[in-house]
Amino acid sequence: MTDRITELRSKKESARQMGGPEKIAQQHQQGKLTARERIDLLFDAGTFYEVGVLAHSNHPSLSARNTPADGVITGFGHIDGRLACVAAYDYTVLAGSMGEVGERKVTRIRQWALDNRMPMIWLIDSAGARIQESTGSQFAESGKLFFDQVIMSGVVPQVAAMMGPGAAGTAYIPALSDFVPMVRGTSSMALGGPHLVKAAIGEDVSEQELGGSQVHCTKSGVADLEVENDEECIRSIKRFLSYLPSHNQDVPPEIDVGDPPNRLCEELNSIVPDNPKMPYNMYDVIYSIVDRDSFFEIKPGWAKNLITGFARFNGISCGILANQPMVRGGILDIDSADKATRFMQLCDAFNVPLIFLQDVPGFIIGSRVEKLGIIRHGAKMLFAVSEATVPKVTVILRKAYGAGYFVMCGKQYEPDLIVGWPTAEISVMGPEGAVNIIFRKEIFEADNPEELRNERCAAFRKLISPYLAAANHFIDDIIEPAETRKVIINALTLARNKKRQRPWRKHGVMPV
């Protein structure tokens, strides 16, 4: 037995050496940590249990020596005291390519995550499918991954951290995940790498130009956060998971940072400019009302006219959707509608209350966006806000115009509390637009058109004031801006045990 234990230890130690010192050095030279170093940072010390360390490729051209753990490290452990599963692709072993045995390991760990209701995390640093093993069984094994991800969606949180390349099959893992951070300069994802793109369509493009973090965090919207290095990437995973429960039948953990729930935000009493056309920075509002240092933004570089992110109010995890007047006046467009829809679905799936901060002039209009499908994209947002049954709180800061008011959880969309600041305006459209339509002929014929337009706008603005809305009980209250934090926390307390039933259905049919 002693000899056999020695042999076992030797084999496991050999596998843990990954691709060897030279490959590890190359990984470090590229500014990347190894898969095992990433796992050490991710899990609480001493809690990670690896499975499949003795796995290796069975392909005739390969061996245990050059495919330790078959290029992917799998296992489970505690992250801030809560269990989670991981699959970390090891770039030091055949560029982290996906082999048949390795994918069998990943299938096993996915099943554990689903059966035991704990988050599933991929640390992706992979060249994609392993060419040497492009057999039917390998293809089927890796293809099952995407099916499983769909089944897991909304049941357990899924994270795909792009910490290197993710080509072909590994690019679909993030597309189906709930949170996708990307490391600047070293990570990428694309359905076909630069060499394949060159061969197939003749386009000569670099890996970063094709699918780097700048592309997916600011243009495509596939990724959620651009980070500077592997260490920051791991921190972002931990922070993301801290706002969610381990599964959909649990509630998010509460974290008290000692920020008083009745704290007034006096600075907000003067944040909205007197000129209704002048912008202000919605981030100033968010940072003022949430628990200290608790705001964690999702997709900050994409569709900047809408802010989405997690925060805490008196320790309670919440999702925030806020129009940003500093970017295109906060108007909603195709990308911001998709961004909002995805975020609302994520929060609703995992029992995270939604906070809406409205200053919205409506949806963008015109022939260009109509051809791009603005109606169906806006309908997605309507679908998501209607479907959400978590606690919902709406604060109207200034503009609440047209369908923008509805998709940002207007009164008809079941907010548990809807309040307005004294500067709130609720209307089918803004005063300028309404006056230009209703009084167009009168203004055109006036001796001083601009003076008459301003006069009519001032009169129209009185008709859409929050006091009229409050008088007709279209909103629950008008509050001082300084009270916003306190009011939101009171509303969350009210809705803490909310139960909202919907008619039975297999699923709705969302516009796409």
Write down the domain spans for the chain.
2-242, 266-424+466-494, 428-464
Low-confidence ranges of the chain (pLDDT < 70): 134-142
Closest Cα to residue 320, out of 392, 259, 257, 368?
392
Residue-level pLDDT at 134: 65
Residue-level pLDDT at 60: 79
Identify residue 158 by its one-letter amino acid code.
Q
Residue-level pLDDT at 469: 92
Residue-level pLDDT at 455: 83
Q: Beta-carbon neighbour count of residue 229 at 10 Å?
A: 16
> 184 is written with which tokens?
């600047």
Identify residue 341 by its one-letter amino acid code.
T
Please state which of the four CATH numbers 1.10.8.60, 3.90.226.10, 3.40.50.720, 3.65.10.10 is assigned to the domain occupying 2-242.
3.90.226.10
Residue-level pLDDT at 429: 83
Whether 2-242 and 266-424+466-494 share one fold: the answer is yes
Residue-level pLDDT at 74: 98
Closest Cα to residue 35, out of 112, 110, 106, 87?
87
Residue-level pLDDT at 360: 97
Residue-level pLDDT at 128: 82
Residue-level pLDDT at 142: 67
Residue-level pLDDT at 62: 82
CATH of domain 266-424+466-494: 3.90.226.10
Residue-level pLDDT at 140: 62
Residue-level pLDDT at 130: 82
Residue-level pLDDT at 125: 95
Residue-level pLDDT at 167: 82
Which residues make Cβ contacts (< 8 Å) with residue 211, sequence separation at least 6? Answer: 171, 188, 189, 190
Residue-level pLDDT at 232: 98
